[in-house]
A = this chain, B = another copy of it.
Amino acid sequence: MAEETKVRFGILGCAHIAIKVCKAITTAPNTKLQAIGSRSFEKAATFAAEHGLPEAVRVYGSYESVLEDDEVDAVYIPLPTGLHVTWAVRAAERRKHVLLEKPVAMNAGELDRILEACEANEVQFMDGTMWVHHPRTAKMKEALSDTQRFGQLKWIHSCLTYNPGPEFLKHSIRVKPDLDGLGALGDTGWYCIRAILWAMDYELPKSVLAFPGAILNEEGVIISCGSSMHWEDGKSASFHCSFLTYMTFDITVLGTKGCLRLNDFTLPFEENFGYATFSEASEMDYGKIEQGRWCPKASEHVVETEFTQDVWMVKEFASLVQKVKRCEMKPEKVWPIVSRKTQLVLDAVKESIERGYQPVEIVS
């Protein structure tokens, strides 16, 4: 792609996740890394040097400077959640398109301020949930939509946990109320909720009821929790998220006739090898039952991919930005809508915990 049509990215902050996204921006065919800013010039310069950013990348000692750069089209914001509303709104007001790390806000009220700013300034908004952009995800959706194989969706369970250890639990920004104040619910529960909504074609549940026994730290930040969710028509789901156990990235989606399972849904085991898999079992496999094997094992589906999912994400975002820049379309609304639905469910789970495990209705 010609250099002049590439979307030029500025990065606000030097979070660990920015390493991956910087690499994705330099890899995607339609994006270019233009600038990086941190609270101090030294920090930004060190980050640029340590991670081998191209020499042309501009290094700034403030976030504001990135927003003031007229040759920055879009920003990626991996700042702590508590800072999102301030910087995403400022970015939109500067007419920068916004790729915002998840969880997108402390609550739907904050997110609405961000989305209103994006809409008023006609910039594209997208959150940083990478796995939905992997080609595997589209293939899985095809499988779930095949009523012959899968039947009607009835139940989903997702579990996303990792155990970053005692130092993290004491000092990480991910457990600080004023920084990533949603704790494990925001960091890993976000993925569970998003995956459940994705499988449900983004239909919001009627209500949620958190599992008793959520674990909060001394400052009231969630370290481990879970919830059931249910829909008017009898569909239901549950999830568990935590900073206390071994790494899991599990989802099981159950239909009347089939089942889809992954243990690596947010980050494929073999991502860098150019493919990813998902497993699926179905009534239709009964025909294949061998002697002595009463229940068919799930079959593995391999999906080849040219890029890793982070590259797919920035490529998709940039492609929408290009269309907006060329005045071919208004910003695509699907992405703000799914971010907002995810945040609404997340807020409801948090409220259910705060209200002593009462059911909370979801009002969109």
Contacts and interface: CB of A to CB of B under 8 A. Distances in A.
Interface string A208-223: 0101110100000000
A287 interface: no
B154 A244 contact: yes
Per assembly, the copies of the chain total 2
A248 B258 contact: no
Nearest to A228: B211
A211 B212 contact: no
Interface stretch (A27-35, A97-105, A266-274): A266-274
Contact of A238 (B211, B246, B255, B293): B211
A344 B247 CA distance: 32
Contacts of A159: 155, 157, 252, 254
A177 interface: no
Contact of A254 (B161, B249, B271): B161
Interface in A217-245: 224, 226, 228, 230-231, 234, 236, 238, 240, 242, 244-245
A18 to B, nearest CB: 17
A242 B156 CA distance: 12
B256 A245 contact: yes
A252 to B, nearest CB: 6
A294 B244 CA distance: 19
A295 interface: yes
B292 A272 contact: yes
A246 B255 contact: yes
A209 B207 contact: no
A137 interface: no
B157 A161 contact: no
Given A207-B212, A250-B252, 5 more contacts: A157-B157, A159-B252, A246-B259, A270-B293, A272-B292
19 contacts: A151-B163, A154-B224, A157-B159, A212-B230, A215-B234, A224-B234, A226-B228, A238-B238, A245-B254, A245-B255, A245-B259, A246-B254, A246-B255, A246-B282, A247-B259, A248-B252, A267-B294, A272-B292, A272-B293
